[in-house]
Amino acid sequence: MIRKTIFTTLFLALFVGSGMAQIAVKADTLYTMNGSAITDGVVLVQDGKIEAAGSAADIQIPDGYEVHEAVVATPGLIDAHSVVGLAGIYNQDSDQDQLEESNAFQPELRAIDAYNAREELVKFLMNKGITTIHTGHGPGALASGQTMIAKTSYNTVEEAVIDSATMVAFTLGSGVSRNYSTPGTTAKGVAMLRQNFIKAQEYAEKMDGENAPSIDLKMEVMADVLNGDITALITAQTAQDILTAIRLQEEFGFEMILDGAAEAYLVMDKIKEAGVPIIIHPTLVRTYGGTQNASFETAGKVQEAGIPMAFQSGYEGYVPKTRVVLYEAALATANGLDRDAALRALTIDAAEILGITQQVGSLEEGKDADIVLYDGDPFEYTTHIEKVIIDGKLVKGE
């Protein structure tokens, strides 16, 4: 009994000391993403949440808080579209679950069933300041499966997950035919998608009737897309594919986010008129196939047009399977993208597009304490990420 009491006491002490720490972050420049940058800023963290954020002149650091100092501090960065956790660092069959090639149309595949929270690429991104990722099945199929949102610091999917079924990943264009015998052309692929949306409409009507059919997992998910319970993430790189995606969205009325959009600058007015956000292609994307006309300046042009935008690491078919959104955004700022807009696209704007602003994206009272500490300007190549805090826990740095 005595041993049990001692063990319980020690366990509670360790738990409180490690998981419930009171932390203060002091930064020469603090970006809360809820207003202008703050000179000599302070963030207080308690129980994994932001307690206060603002000027040191207004916020007193209480006794007992663990203080961390930085030249610059920002909210945790958000990778708005990735495949890490499904795609692994070794590029072997055993760690490549981002694209199932047995069928071109499989919206029922769940990212949460394949996500490996311990994958080294996840921790690699965490150490680069990426605290939240929107990841899952990648482009390359008409419907490759579902996506999810997770924090990067945890070792199990149950701990990491923020949203287990965020979007369904669709792809339009010639890239699909490289992976599957059917469809062989873009027109065939669009016809197949349209037919499946019609089937989903009919399925939903029958499920509401007296003689409901057996559950069809594909149609269940497609019906969820049609009724707005899950968003369609449509990878469309060329101008014609972007316009086709918009036509499908208008025809069936589902919620849509454009992914990639390499030729968005050719049809900017149509995208803005449709009110569709873009998860823009990586600035350094390889220019071949659908992305052959990608431009370093696209992000800046999208921002100037007033179209909501976020950055992604994207899908890479080669080692190391991921990019770093901070670097992609930095290069975009050198090619016309407003600097503040770039930081917003990595934080609050990405959170807005993904529907998670209640938890992450800015340093505001009550939100998750995800904070990145830098020794200089975040967009300078020579700057280091010194510390990363996720849910109030120091996960990188000392």
Single-letter residue type at 92: Q
Q: Which two tokens stand for residue 293?
A: 């006309």
Residue 20 pLDDT? 57
Residues pairing with 235 in the sheet? 171, 259
Residue 319 pLDDT? 67
Residue 142 pLDDT? 97
Q: Which two tokens stand for residue 192?
A: 């197949």
With bands split at pLDDT 50, 70 and 90, how would you rate the model's confidence at 398? confident
Higher pLDDT, 315 or 394: 394
Can you list the positions of beta strands (E) in the chain? 23-30, 38-46, 49-55, 66-75, 77-82, 130-136, 143-151, 161-163, 167-171, 231-236, 256-260, 278-280, 309-311, 371-374, 385-390, 393-396
Q: Report how far residue 124's alpha carbon sits from residue 122's, in angstroms, rounded to the nearest whole number.
A: 5
Residue 151 pLDDT? 98
- Note the pLDDT tens digit of each residue in 91-117: 888 889 999 999 999 999 999 999 999
Give me the chain's average pLDDT, please: 93
Q: Report how far residue 385's alpha carbon sits from residue 375's, in angstroms, rounded to the nearest whole number.
A: 7
Mean pLDDT of 42-55: 98
Q: What is the DSSP string of 174-219?
A: GGGGGT-SS--SHHHHHHHHHHHHHHHHHHHHHHTSSSPPPP-HHH
Evaluate if residue 29 carries a pLDDT over 90: yes
Nearest to 255, CA basis, from 238, 277, 271 = 277
Nearest to 73, CA basis, from 397, 368, 375, 349 = 375
Residues pairing with 41 in the sheet? 27, 55
Q: Report how far residue 366's alpha carbon sits from residue 348's, in angstroms, rounded to the nearest whole number.
A: 15
The CATH number assigned to the domain with range 2-75+363-396 reads: 2.30.40.10
Residues pairing with 78 in the sheet? 132
Evaluate if residue 4 carries a pLDDT over 60: no
Evaluate if residue 59 carries a pLDDT over 60: yes
Residue 13 pLDDT? 41
The CATH number assigned to the domain with range 77-354 reads: 3.20.20.140
Nearest to 166, CA basis, from 137, 195, 192, 189 = 137
- Note the pLDDT tens digit of each residue in 312-346: 999 877 766 799 999 999 999 999 999 999 999 99
Residue 70 pLDDT? 98
Mean pLDDT of 36-50: 98
Evaluate if residue 191 carries a pLDDT over 90: yes
pTM summary value: 0.94
Domain ranges of the chain: 2-75+363-396, 77-354
